[in-house]
Amino acid sequence: MREIVPPSPAIVRNDQASIQEQFQRNVVPSYGRFPLAFSRGSGSQLWDVGGRRYLDFASGIAVCTLGHSNAEITDALIEQSRKLMHVSNLYYTAPQGQLAEEIVNRIGPGKVFFCNSGAEADEGLYKIARKFGHDEGRFEILTAFNSFHGRTLAGISATGQEKVKKGFEPMTPGFRHIPYNDLEAAHAAISPATVAILIEGIQGESGVTPATPEYLLGLRKLCDERKMLLLIDGVQCGHFRTGRFQSFQRILEGHPEAAGFLPDGISMAKALGGGFPIGAFWLRQPHGDLLSAGTHGTTFGGNPLGCAVALKIISVIERDHLAQNAREVGAYLKTSLIQLMNRFPNVIKDVRGYGLMIGVEFHTNIPAFSGSDRAVSLQLINRFHEAGLLTVPSGTHTIRILPALNLKRNEADEGLAIIEKVAATLSA
């Protein structure tokens, strides 16, 4: 019998091994993927193709802000797609204007341009900086060491990490890196050609490092004095993750000198569409009018489908008080993780972050990891996967906790129990 029944085709078997094998044959191998293939999700839960359930503390790297398979997002997608999916930016459509207004209302007087990704949103900020300084011959943008601004050629040039640049030299000219949270260094780095400073509100890819209030305020003052633009990359840390729409609003909360603080430009993507690809940048007036007709564009930018989804997400976040939930559940997670650090001081070194953007830094000399030359963060992620929890590495020895903003307290407890179990094993 075994000889005469042919094996099921890969598409029907659809298991982990055949999916991986299909990738190996057909997909550009530019990602270091974990050996997991997912087939469905619901809220903060994901199931792999073998039917195993995982708790998702990654949410697609800070993307799936309402969790997986959210019925209201699905409805918004279906409803809009029945009406109109795409007409191009040769014409007007209502959702684009509405979404721009929602963003402006949450930041300050300005204008919004829509694109498709974070790298593209940052690219718009580089172009704005160039346009702003063009007549004076200024073009240089200062960005921070350990920053991340995407994988386009200008994105890797802006990113302050050598590993993303390697093999792609020469870099796009006009970017120089400065130490993060160091005002003196920013002052000292300015040249006659410098036109802007671009930083993340919270650095996400190199260990979860928030900007200090003094740094944000000091950069604003410096940029005003030197007629430069202050640009903030809010791609990962934005969109209510910290408990406010933008991370700088949260970081500056209650600071006596923060009244009226605004950057000149902010990039967004990731959670804006909750999994539907959409990016944007906001520009403070009068800079919102710098890009006149014909100077910038993209085919899919601001298409009605993406904008309808993004509008729905903002309305659900506000209706269900999810920024407050990010604040409360985030504070609970952070406090509990600090308690774990105090219990396992030889394993966990530090816990940082705001709201539901938390970095847990581990020691580099944990004996269980010494036998491998793989980064501690990657070995940790594998341990968490084995225990049923998805988190994201950040740099060499930090993991990021970036769950959906509607994470429930009992789900936070479930994740904490897994982290505790892994920490206890590593401490033994």
Site membership for ligand PLP, residue 278 (CB under 6 A): no
Among 57, 148, 281, 354, the residue binding ligand PLP under the rule CB under 6 A is 148
Q: Pick between residue 200 and residue 411 the one whose CB is nearest to ligand PLP.
A: 200
What would the two tokens of residue 91 be?
A: 């014409």
Q: Pick between residue 269 and residue 418 the one whose CB is nearest to ligand PLP.
A: 269
Q: Pick between residue 138 and residue 241 the one whose CB is nearest to ligand PLP.
A: 241
Site membership for ligand PLP, residue 111 (CB under 6 A): no
Supply the minimum distance, in Å, between the C-beta of residue 274 and ligand PLP: 13
Q: Which of 114, 233, 264, 384 is catalytic?
A: 233
Interacting stretch for ligand PLP, rule CB under 6 A, among 130-138, 198-206, 221-229, 255-263?
A: 198-206
Site membership for ligand PLP, residue 122 (CB under 6 A): yes
Q: Pick between residue 150 and residue 395 the one whose CB is nearest to ligand PLP.
A: 150
Among 41, 43, 60, 118, the residue binding ligand PLP under the rule CB under 6 A is 118
Q: Pick between residue 281 and residue 369 the one whose CB is nearest to ligand PLP.
A: 281
In order of 48, 203, 231, 334, the CA distances from 353 in angstroms are 29, 10, 21, 8
Please state whether beta strands 140-144 and 53-56 pair in parallel, antiparallel, or not at all (unpaired): unpaired
Instruction: Tell me the sheet residues that pair with 45.
Output: 42, 55
Interacting stretch for ligand PLP, rule CB under 6 A, among 94-102, 112-120, 224-232, 282-290?
A: 112-120
Supply the minimum distance, in Å, between the C-beta of residue 282 and ligand PLP: 15
Residue with tokens 């300015």: 190
Distance (Å, rounded) from C-alpha 296 to C-alpha 89? 11
Nearest residue to ligand PLP, by Cβ distance, number only:
118
Interface with ligand PLP: number of residues (CB under 6 A)? 15
Residue with tokens 């191009």: 88
In order of 71, 183, 318, 329, 376, the CA distances from 42 in angstroms are 10, 44, 21, 19, 30
Q: How distant is the alpha carbon of residue 29 from its chain centre?
A: 22
Site membership for ligand PLP, residue 119 (CB under 6 A): yes
Contacts with ligand PLP, 47-76, as mask; x by CB under 6 A: --------------x---------------
User: Phi, psi at residue 305, to the nearest 5°?
Assistant: -65, -55
Among 44, 80, 96, 117, the residue binding ligand PLP under the rule CB under 6 A is 117
Site membership for ligand PLP, residue 200 (CB under 6 A): yes
Among 123, 140, 233, 264, the residue binding ligand PLP under the rule CB under 6 A is 233
Please count the other Cβ atoms lying within 10 Å of the Cβ belonging to residue 338.
Answer: 14
Site membership for ligand PLP, residue 235 (CB under 6 A): yes
How far is the first Cα of the chain from the last one, in angstroms, to the nearest whole number?
51
Comparing CA positions, the residue from 257, 262, 261, 279 lying closest to residue 270 is 279
Q: Which of 122, 132, 245, 270 is catalytic?
A: 270
Distance (Å, rounded) from C-alpha 311 to C-alpha 413? 31
Q: Pick between residue 70 and residue 147 the one whose CB is nearest to ligand PLP.
A: 147
Q: Pick between residue 271 and residue 376 the one whose CB is nearest to ligand PLP.
A: 271
Max CA pair span of the chain: 82
User: Phi, psi at residue 212, to the nearest 5°?
Assistant: -85, 155
Percentages helix, strand, coil for the chain (3-state, rounded to 5) are 40, 20, 40
Distance (Å, rounded) from C-alpha 227 to C-alpha 123? 21
Q: Pick between residue 209 and residue 336 the one whose CB is nearest to ligand PLP.
A: 209
Distance (Å, rounded) from C-alpha 2 to C-alpha 155? 54
Supply the minimum distance, in Å, between the C-beta of residue 158 and ligand PLP: 9
Contact 356, 401 (CB under 8 A): yes
148 catalytic per annotation: yes
State whether the Cα torsion 53-55-58-60 is positive or negative: positive
Contact 346, 337 (CB under 8 A): no
Site membership for ligand PLP, residue 244 (CB under 6 A): no
Among 43, 67, 110, 150, the residue binding ligand PLP under the rule CB under 6 A is 150
Q: Which of 113, 114, 132, 148 is catalytic?
A: 148
Residues that bind ligand PLP (CB under 6 A): 61, 117-119, 122, 148-150, 200, 204-205, 233, 235-236, 269
Name the residues annotated as catalytic: 148, 233, 270
